[in-house]
Amino acid sequence: MQTQKHGEAMRVEAPGKRRTKAQLRAEYRKHQQIAYQWANHDEWNEAVEHLAKKLAKGGKITPAIWVEAAKRATVECDRCRGTGEYVWGAIVNGRATKKGVCFACEGKGRQNQGDFIRNRTYWNHVKVV
């Protein structure tokens, strides 16, 4: 007759899943740095805090939740002011002659980490004189 140690096997966590506090802090700072280079600092911090509270569902906000919130936080797009539409060209009778999907937020009206990275790369390559 064989006995299996179910209890022990169940307690094993997936490798690489658990991050130390230092790793979490570094990850948070990475997202923050990216956001700070593009978005308004206060606005981004507010968005992260708001999302962290939502993710914690009224409970304690753990370092992992802060990281998740930093990763997913979005801010209103300053290029289109949240409309998702980019207008340019001459204004004729109060209306812009040209418009299209906002490139900075891809028409979402809000920018996330992916947008920050893309926009930063774009503007670093295209030097505006």
The residues of the shown chain that bind Zn ion, judged by CB under 5 A, are 77, 79-80, 102, 104-105
Nearer to Zn ion, 39 or 80 (CB): 80
The residue (of 52 and 102) whose beta carbon lies closer to Zn ion is: 102
Rounded to a whole number of angstroms, the minimum distance from the CB of residue 56 to Zn ion is 29
Rounded CA separation 6/4 (Å): 6
Query: Please, what is the minimum distance in Å from the beta carbon of residue 93 to Zn ion?
Result: 24
- Torsion over CA of 55, 35, 112 and 84, rounded to 10 degrees? 130
Name the residue among 53, 49, 55 with its Cα closest to residue 28.
49
111 and 74 Cβ atoms separated by less than 8 Å:
yes
Give the nearest distance from C-beta 46 to Zn ion in angstroms.
19
Nearest CB to Zn ion, comparing residues 56 and 117: 117
* Amino acid of residue 23: Q
